[in-house]
Amino acid sequence: MTIGFIGLGHMGGPMAANLVKAGHAVNGFDLSQPLLDEASSKGVTACDSLAEAVAGVDTVITMLPAGKHVLSVWQELLVMVPSGTLLIDCSTIDIDSARMAHDLAAGKGCPSLDAPVSGGTGGAAAGTLTFMIGGEQAVFSKSQPVFEAMGKRIIHCGDATAGQAAKICNNMILGISMIAVGEAFVLGEKLGLSHQALYDVASVSSGQCWSLTTYCPVPGPVPTSPANNDYKPGFAGALMLKDLKLSQEAAQSAGAITPLGAKAAELYTLFNELGNADKDFSGIIDMLRQKSGGTA
């Protein structure tokens, strides 16, 4: 396939490189020249403009910071591409913007998918991302080779915006569960329980969850978790807060009651305000410990 890839940042850069590895011809565009140079060294054709990047392609992928960027880029490029061009947005964005993006594409006769990812920068580099996809079944089926080049698990979640819905619901669970696991370790410390003992029990009991067994927020029990590396991300506190805010916006507009999601958003707001935006989100345990009068 011939693909225009817009947004070559932490995620988009390695994703575009994996498309090249899989044999696709990829035109890349980003506002940052160093990122264009980096992509070019991986076989992406670096383009000087959006127009150049989307000229003659059959598919356009966007990987941008937020809904406003996606809408502005899609508005601009839809004037340039012929109808029938497939548009895929892999960014994590709010549901309303995702809906508007699908509507813009449909207005031009272009099929579209929302396809946010999980797996972080490691998954983007290794080509092992999970894709959560919203859009028509036929469009999804046709676009499989594109996703297979960048990911390992590719899940069609339903119609337009279902991918974004799955992403923010999953990350709301993640934010809440990381706080729960952190609270349990801090309480355990106060009760004289070792980290390892709590891990050994909870990891085979009903407290078991990904935040505990893959991403354990204390050093030791899971040697690969960011806690063993001074909470270097991983998944930064700023990104967790972004996703929790998106889930709260969605909950409000859909009329869902999500009190723990709201509390998690509040606690991650504080975590970010305390200067932890660049730290892994599991570092929130230090904030909980300090609030309990302990030291990290």
Q: Does 131 bind ligand NAD (CB under 6 A)?
A: no
List, as one string, the DSSP characters of 213-252.
Answer: HTT-SSSSSSTTSGGGGTT--SSBHHHHHHHHHHHHHHHH
User: Count residues contacting ligand NAD (CB under 6 A)?
Assistant: 26
Which residue, 65 or 294, has its beta carbon nearer to ligand NAD?
A: 65
Q: Rule CB under 6 A: choose which of 55, 80, 121, 152 binds ligand NAD.
A: 121
Q: Quick one: which segment of 9-17, 198-206, 208-216, 281-289 binds ligand NAD (CB under 6 A)?
A: 9-17
134: left (phi over 0), alpha (psi -120 to 50) or beta: beta
Q: Does 88 bind ligand NAD (CB under 6 A)?
A: no
Provide CB contacts within 8 A for 205, sequence distance 6+: none
CA distance 111 to 108: 9
Which residue, 16 or 227, has its beta carbon nearer to ligand NAD?
A: 16
Which residue, 140 or 235, has its beta carbon nearer to ligand NAD?
A: 235
Q: 137, 127 in Cβ contact below 8 A?
A: no
Q: Does 61 bind ligand NAD (CB under 6 A)?
A: no
Tokens of 78: 């839809």
Q: Out of 68, 167, 232, 242, pick the active-site residue.
A: 167
Distances (CA, A) of 201 to 114, 204, 216, 221: 40, 6, 13, 12
Which residue, 125 or 193, has its beta carbon nearer to ligand NAD?
A: 125
CA angle, residues 176, 178, 182, in degrees to nearest 5: 120
Question: Can 167 be counted among the known catalytic residues?
Answer: yes
203-262 positions binding ligand NAD, by CB under 6 A: 235, 239, 242
Active site residues: 167
Q: Which residues are near ligand NAD by CB under 6 A? A: 6-12, 29-32, 35, 63-65, 69, 73, 91-92, 117-118, 120-121, 235, 239, 242
